[in-house]
Chains A and B, each alone.
Chain A
């Protein structure tokens, strides 16, 4: 079996992940941050360790600035709906996922002014176009770091510099890149970083969060939900400090135990080494697919400028047919369709049909890539 759906959820996980989760359920179990007995403290410690590891990996100045939630979608909703008000202007790109576009379209109906900057048909963004779109009331730039459709990397540092220069905030959707591509929240100039645990951080689904940088005004950033935090219990008002302010309700401690193990593993391997392996795989996939007659590959066709996610189509075959046959006849798991990103597919010119997506991860091998290329070659030959 070949698993090429890592852009959705990575699999397999490093062995420590399941072990940490079983340990939590069997040996710890208690509620983190809700009592002071040993088990509760141990549970809180595991969650804190996860906070610390994420902060270390992404170079955030303080682990308490890491606010955990269910996934990157929740984090993006917190940042967008918590920060933007009627009359504000927000700028984003034309390759965003619906986890950005849907909250933004809803905010637009509430009077937030939205500019979607057009990317090239390969999915690249010109930072100059972002700068040209800014207005005096621009409150935020929202940027997809790496596309979930064709893997294209957007120019983070250049856009961050523009955000600083124009005194606006930069929200980064790092769903596809956190753990897979070097990311330094402080050096890169990210104000709000939304991440998910179940992709390149190699944790389980149900984990993710928002890292809140020092330029963000907490008085302005409204929580998505309010409730019990285990702190300031004598108050009926929400706490005003991090992370509790944005973390009401019991966090997914068993998931975060797994995330801690996943991020620890990423730290041990080193993001640079993971990236180097994935670049090699992506090169092999791109050049292999490009050499097959009848196959169209989307994006920049340069592994250095993208993640290990590659989008393609086989002429005369619908993506749904390719996906089904790869699964049933060749034992290859990939994802087809629009990948929750209609804007990105419109940019590529693949809307509404979509594409086939190979989402590679660190556990994939060159041999698997070669097998998958043989399968695509067979399908393409049959279709001719």
Chain B
């Protein structure tokens, strides 16, 4: 979707990304696993991209699931 503003959930590893994706998808949040944008880390791993408008809900969902994440950033 052109023009869509995104945020990313930064996680420790692919396993965490997949776990976060499951929780977010269950809450109806559309997400996609993408490479971590270079400006946000030097890691070779993945992060979970969500629409920026879902950011607050995502934070609540992940907190509710007691999921450890490394941060959520707008991109």
- A residues contacting B by CB (< 8 A) are 32-36, 40-41, 44-45, 47-48, 51, 63-64, 229-234, 239, 241, 243-244
For the complex, give the distance between the alpha carbons of A329 and B16 in Å.
54
Chain A min CB distance to B69 (Å): 12
**Given A36-B35, A231-B43: A48 and B13 within 8 A (CB)?**
no
Which residues of B have CB within 8 Å of A44?
14-15, 17-18, 46
Chain B min CB distance to A65 (Å): 11
Which residues of B have CB within 8 Å of A234?
41-43
- 22 A-B pairs in the complex with CB atoms less than 8 angstroms apart: A33-B13, A33-B14, A34-B14, A34-B44, A35-B35, A36-B36, A36-B45, A36-B46, A44-B15, A44-B17, A44-B18, A45-B18, A47-B15, A48-B18, A48-B19, A64-B19, A229-B13, A230-B14, A239-B12, A239-B13, A241-B12, A244-B12
Chain B min CB distance to A253 (Å): 11
For the complex, give the distance between the alpha carbons of A239 and B41 in Å.
16
Contact bitstring B1-39, A, C-beta under 8 A = 1, else 0: 000000000001111111100000000000001111000
Out of A35, A64, A232, A233, name the residue touching B15 (CB < 8 Å).
Answer: A64
Out of B13, B18, B36, B42, name the residue touching A244 (CB < 8 Å).
Answer: B13
For the complex, would chain A's binding face be called helix, strand, loop or mixed by DSSP majority?
loop
B19–A41 touching, CB < 8 Å = no
B46–A41 touching, CB < 8 Å = yes
Out of B16, B33, B42, name the residue touching A36 (CB < 8 Å).
Answer: B33
Chain A min CB distance to B74 (Å): 19
**Given A36-B33, A36-B34: A231 and B45 within 8 A (CB)?**
yes
Chain A minimum-CB-distance residue to B46: A36
- B residues contacting A by CB (< 8 A) are 12-19, 33-36, 41-46, 68
Which residues of B have CB within 8 Å of A32?
14
For the complex, give the distance between the alpha carbons of A229 and B42 in Å.
15
Which residues of B have CB within 8 Å of A45?
18
For the complex, give the distance between the alpha carbons of A33 and B44 in Å.
9
Which residues of B have CB within 8 Å of A244?
12-13, 15
A230–B19 touching, CB < 8 Å = no
Chain A minimum-CB-distance residue to B68: A241
Which residues of B have CB within 8 Å of A230?
13-14, 44-45
Out of B13, B18, B41, B42, name the residue touching A241 (CB < 8 Å).
Answer: B13
Which residues of B have CB within 8 Å of A231?
12-14, 43, 45
